[in-house]
Copies of this chain bind each other. A is one copy, B any other.
Amino acid sequence: MEGDFRSARVAVVGLGLMGGSLCAALRTRNACREVIGVARRPATLQMARDLRFIDRGTVDVQEGLRDADVVVLATPVRDILAKLATIGPLLAPGTLVLDIGSTKRAICRAMENLPAGIQPLGGHPMCGRETSGLAMADPTLYRDRVFVLVPLPRTAPWALAMGCSLARGIGARPLVIDAADGEASVAEGCPAAARHDRLVAAISHLPYMLAAALVEAAAATAEEDPLAWELAAGGFRDTSRVAASDPTMMLDILATNRDEALRALRHAQGQLERLARLLEEGDLKALRRAIEAARNRRMEVLS
């Protein structure tokens, strides 16, 4: 539906932490005409109604999507893929379909198969918590956070503008990812999605893998000496935090971004091997340079 987001009926499919918080933000900020929740379990819908996060809700996807001008898919990535394969016939022509999954290539490929009258748009809000579920939803989750939008070659300008309005409507800062220079001609359905997946592999999926490795490596020491956990302070806590992320969400992310996650991981392994060699050789001058370089970089990019 071309037009004003404020007059849109928005159906959100999946009322977990991300979908629930999105509904809560839309309702709290009065950002659109109606918020329709779609969930698998009636108890989830009841909680969403009780919290006033949705105007109405249903377990029936067909019913939920029938009157929607905007559909937001907010389930784990592989569930989004399954839904994209089936919802086409349920959507009215002119509907905007936006997802908020954490990887974009597989999703944008699946979006290409939606009926011609539908407007698809990839989305990825750069926020999240290591908690999950509607009970942890928070209307301020998206506030001042970057909300990445990944247009497909077929996405109309008005649909992209509508996605930006939705992002602003929940308090986020829209950031449109275009195909990087020189990549537009790559034999790939959606160059912007490929660019997105490479970036988040380094900036989001790699931190997860390092955190998970940290937890398991520390556990090996703690098995020899359980006192280890009592010494865990802020450094361990922060560095390992994302290891507590929802497992289905993380598995779907890694499963749909294997090559780029592996590429980022190989980079990090190279860095760690470099550190290991400096320790082994006792080359303290080079070790100091490595420590100072990492610190300067961290302070430069994140103040």
Contacts and interface: CB of A to CB of B under 8 A. Distances in A.
A265 to B, nearest CB: 5
B297 A204 contact: no
- Chain copies in the assembly? 2
Given A128-B233, A203-B228, A213 B251 contact: no
Contact of A209 (B221, B265, B272): B272
A13 interface: no
A231 B126 contact: yes
A180 to B, nearest CB: 6
Given A203-B218, A245-B295, A287 B198 contact: no
Contacts of A264: 217-218, 221
Provide the main secondary structure of the chain A interface.
helix
Nearest to A125: B233
Interface in A173-203: 175, 177, 180, 195, 198-203
Contact of A211 (B175, B215, B239): B239
B268 A229 contact: no
Nearest to A195: B225
Nearest to A278: B254
Contact of A295 (B244, B269, B276, B294): B244
7 contacts: A145-B233, A209-B275, A211-B298, A232-B301, A245-B295, A258-B279, A261-B279
Interface of A: 126-129, 145-146, 148, 175, 177, 180, 195, 198-204, 206-222, 225, 227-245, 247, 250-251, 254-255, 258, 261-262, 264-273, 275-276, 279-280, 282, 284, 287-288, 290-295, 297-299, 301-302
